[in-house]
Amino acid sequence: MKLKRYTSWLLFISLAVFVFNPLSIDASDEYILEITEIGQFDFSGYTYAVKVVDDIAYVTCGDFYLLNISDPSSITEISSFPLYRGHKFRIKDDIAYITDEIFGLKLLNISDPTNPSLISQINDGGTAGDLFIVDNLVYVADVDDGLEIIDVSNVTNPIEIAQYDEEGGISTVLIQEEILYTIIFRVDGRSWLNIMDISDIENMMVLGSYDVNILAHDIAVEDGVAYIANKEDGIMLLNVTDPTNIELLSSEDLEGTIENLYAEDNLVYLANKIAGVQVYDAINSTDIQKVGEFVDVGSPQDLELHDNLIYVTDSSEGLEILEINGLDSIRKTSGYSFLIIPAFVVLFSIKRMRKKTNLPN
């Protein structure tokens, strides 16, 4: 009877560890990812943002460029469109929505990549930066005027339908399931994360705010964790599962200047203007570990991930395409394969004990 009770407890403990203990990368494996450059395209100006759709990379470098990347070793320019100073942009249904600094939001027809053309533009005199699109609404972060919401259901005649003013300006905007995340530069010189309910755009409501230091610049949210890129202070991880009670999970003070970041499968990719492209494993959000990096003489500005390729805009070296080797060896959820071992050990021990005591199986 005691043996059966002992056996039951061993099995319970083994299964509990198996189910609940996440697998994280050991510090000795921090460079488990190998990152190499497989393609590059030089621009003559300051390269800013990048988006990739199929075999075309769209890049703002002052103007708006379309590049053929079907062969990363031989990238060629398809066409370009003149802008004053193109910043962030989004691609939807063969239309590029681009913030052109002091000229507001521009809509380009890119259905023919060889001949992009202006459809319309809207400008209220502010300084447009980041943007996000949901259905027929474009949410524009304006450094001067706060959040602007523009109806583009008629792409030839975009109309501003709502605005949310802040004491300062908004640099970054991200939306997930009617929840809006913005980074705000307040007049006191501090940066704040604001989380808002935008289910009713005429009555948008702030759910929670958090001081994210000075010069916070970009945000990504995955599985209830917000990753904040700070130009001077590295990255900050916040628990935003309950927006009314935002909690600090960890912060990593990194050398360099973090311009932008990208998060996917508990890996965070950083565009570090000084230290290159860095990749951190954040499965344990209280103790993130570096698992890869790519450093050359450039200054990464923005990045995007597709499969095992990182597309990086470099303010001094144009567009770089980096290949990652080793992603398959990093778990994407919990560490089941790592934790199967205790169960086997327990089962083996039980069989031996049964043999010694001549108990039936």
| SS3 labels along the chain | CHHHHHHHHHHHHHHHHHHHCCCCCCHHHCCCCEEEEEEEECCCCCCCCEEEECCEEEEEEEEEEEEECCCHHHCEEEEEEEEEEECCEEEECCEEEEECHHHCEEEEECCCCCCCEEEEEECCCCCEEEEEEECCEEEEEECCCEEEEEECCCCCCCEEEEEECCCEEEEEEEEECCEEEEEEEECCCCEEEEEEECCCHHHCEEEEEEECCCCEEEEEEECCEEEEEECCCEEEEEECCCCCCCEEEEEECCCCCEEEEEEECCEEEEEECCCEEEEEECCCCCCCEEEEEECCCCCEEEEEEECCEEEEEECCCEEEEEEEECHHHCCCCCCHHHHHHHHHHHHHHHHHHHHHHCCCC
Pull the structure tokens for residue 23: 């697998």
pLDDT in tens, the chain (361 residues): 544 554 444 444 444 433 334 444 443 445 789 999 999 999 877 888 999 999 999 999 889 999 999 999 999 999 999 998 888 999 999 999 999 878 889 999 999 999 999 999 998 777 788 899 999 999 998 877 788 999 999 999 999 998 887 666 788 899 998 999 998 877 677 888 999 999 998 888 999 999 988 678 789 999 999 999 887 778 999 999 999 999 999 988 888 788 899 999 999 999 998 889 999 999 999 999 999 999 987 789 899 999 899 999 988 789 999 999 988 877 544 333 333 334 434 444 444 444 444 544 4
Where in the chain are the domains? 1-23+334-361, 48-211
Enter the pTM of the model: 0.81
Distance CA 331, CA 284 (A): 12
Instruction: Assign domain 48-211 to a CATH class.
Output: mainly beta
